[in-house]
């Protein structure tokens, strides 16, 4: 049976490998893989690219601007909304102004290395550089699989190194001061949210995605199954970044109390609401209108509280690090800490342990110093 243009074919080669071909407008591109499923996925992506463009692009005529435009269109179906938004911003702000007119087939490791050197000289943060690298590595990897280029030039250069984060970590005494202020109502509407972050070690997005049905009051645990991210200023609910992020977390008694205070506060707001039956009230941490708090307002509130209490200013994400660091200092095993944090690998967890070890060694030196007094 004759296949129509753009339908594609899949076959198994004599050497045991699988191959697929797609012909559109007189051009044919082959892709290969170890299994039929792998090849079928590559063919599906190639069909998406051809559908977006209306033709199979000729690599020799395709600029990086042309290719990334097509790639972002079809990648939107398989990327998280927040990731897609980030890639679009990085593409428009950093990649296209420097490499947009470069032919796809002319990209090389040297060209990309020079691009990242230019970003560094222009003062672009290492964080943004790493985002640009991740985008190019992924997009050019797809170009290889689709037969547009023979190899991925991003694989020939080093990933930009991250800049060591300067974190302010509260001591146990400073953390206790903060929690006492929350309990007596000195920390405003987000005080119990911050207390919960300290009690659980959750990410802010995970806390904002928490629902009352996720709380087991009798067992004293919460189930993390979703998170909130902001995409173009709007909250979007999704699964945690990895399967390790789906987890059950046991809370200390004061962590449960923070949830109880929040539930009482939310009930009062719900009773005064014009729409008390809206689904938003199912969430634990909401505004007076039953909506997801804007993350900018949450961050601003924490800085204001730190200033009011005379505590070293910290970021919202630092509350998670403070929680994990205190547990590491208390001797919680790295495997248990990794599971509680929802880390997919122990690498990040070990960084917490190293920080706790540095603090512990400093306290040991101070104790020795007091022997001479």
State the average pLDDT over residues 182-204: 95
Domains 57-156 and 172-320 share a fold: no
Domain parsing of the chain, residue ranges: 1-44, 57-156, 172-320
Q: Which residue has the tokens 């306290």?
A: 363
The rounded distance, in Å, linking the Cα atoms of 292 and 313 is 24
Spatial CB neighbours of 270, under 8 Å, sequence gap ≥ 6:
276, 281, 290
For 33-42, how does the pLDDT look when each residue is reduced to its tens digit (9 = 90+)?
A: 788 888 888 7
The rounded distance, in Å, linking the Cα atoms of 33 and 139 is 18
More confident position, 276 or 92: 92
Task: Flag whether pLDDT at 305 surpasses 60.
Answer: yes
Class for the domain spanning 172-320: mainly alpha
For the record, the structure tokens of 25 come out as 């407008």
For the record, the structure tokens of 214 come out as 């996720």
Task: Flag whether pLDDT at 162 surpasses 90.
Answer: no
DSSP helix/strand/coil, 223: strand
For 112-141, how does the pLDDT look when each residue is reduced to its tens digit (9 = 90+)?
A: 999 999 999 999 999 999 999 999 999 999
CB atoms within 10 A of CB 211: 15
Share of the chain above pLDDT 90, in %: 55
On whether the CB atoms of residues 72 and 84 are closer than 8 A, the answer is yes
pLDDT given for residue 296 in this prediction: 94
Phi, psi at 117, each rounded to 5°: -65, -40
Spatial CB neighbours of 22, under 8 Å, sequence gap ≥ 6:
6, 8, 28, 29, 31, 43, 46, 47, 50, 56
Task: Flag whether pLDDT at 1 surpasses 50.
Answer: no
The domain 57-156 having CATH identifier 1.10.150.130: the answer here is: yes
The rounded distance, in Å, linking the Cα atoms of 41 and 149 is 18
pLDDT given for residue 115 in this prediction: 96
């Amino acid at each position: 049976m004759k296949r129509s243009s753009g339908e594609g074919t899949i076959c198994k080669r004599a050497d045991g490998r699988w191959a697929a071909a797609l012909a559109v407008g007189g051009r044919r591109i082959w892709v290969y893989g170890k299994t039929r499923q792998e090849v079928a996925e590559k063919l599906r992506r190639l069909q998406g690219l051809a559908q977006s463009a209306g033709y199979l692009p000729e690599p020799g005529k395709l600029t990086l601007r042309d290719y990334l435009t097509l790639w972002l269109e079809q990648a939107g179906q398989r990327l998280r909304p927040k990731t897609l938004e980030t890639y679009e911003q990085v593409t428009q702000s950093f990649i296209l102004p420097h490499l947009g007119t470069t032919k796809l087939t002319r990209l090389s490791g040297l060209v990309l290395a020079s691009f990242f050197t230019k970003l560094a000289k222009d003062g672009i943060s290492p964080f943004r550089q790493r985002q640009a690298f991740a985008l190019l590595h992924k997009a050019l990897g797809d170009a290889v699989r689709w037969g547009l280029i023979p190899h991925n030039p991003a694989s020939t250069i080093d990933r930009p190194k991250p800049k060591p984060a300067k974190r302010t970590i509260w001591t146990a005494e400073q953390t206790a001061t903060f929690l006492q202020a929350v309990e007596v109502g000195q920390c405003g509407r987000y005080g119990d949210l911050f207390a919960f972050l300290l009690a659980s070690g959750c990410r802010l997005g995970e806390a904002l995605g928490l629902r009352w049905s996720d709380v087991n009051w009798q067992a004293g645990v919460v189930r993390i199954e979703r998170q909130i991210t902001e995409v173009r200023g709007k909250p979007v609910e999704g699964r945690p970044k990895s399967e390790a992020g789906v987890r059950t977390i046991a809370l200390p008694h004061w962590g449960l109390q923070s949830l109880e205070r929040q539930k009482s506060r939310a009930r009062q707001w719900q009773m005064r609401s014009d729409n008390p039956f809206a689904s938003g009230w199912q969430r634990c941490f909401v505004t007076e209108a039953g909506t997801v708090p804007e993350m900018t307002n949450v961050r601003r509130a924490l800085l204001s509280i730190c200033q009011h209490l005379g505590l070293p200013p910290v970021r919202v994400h630092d509350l998670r690090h403070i929680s994990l660091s205190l547990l590491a200092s208390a001797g919680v095993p790295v495997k248990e800490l990794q599971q509680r944090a929802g880390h997919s690998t122990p690498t990040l967890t070990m960084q917490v342990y190293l920080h706790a070890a540095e603090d512990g060694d400093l306290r040991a030196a101070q104790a020795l110093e007091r022997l001479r007094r």
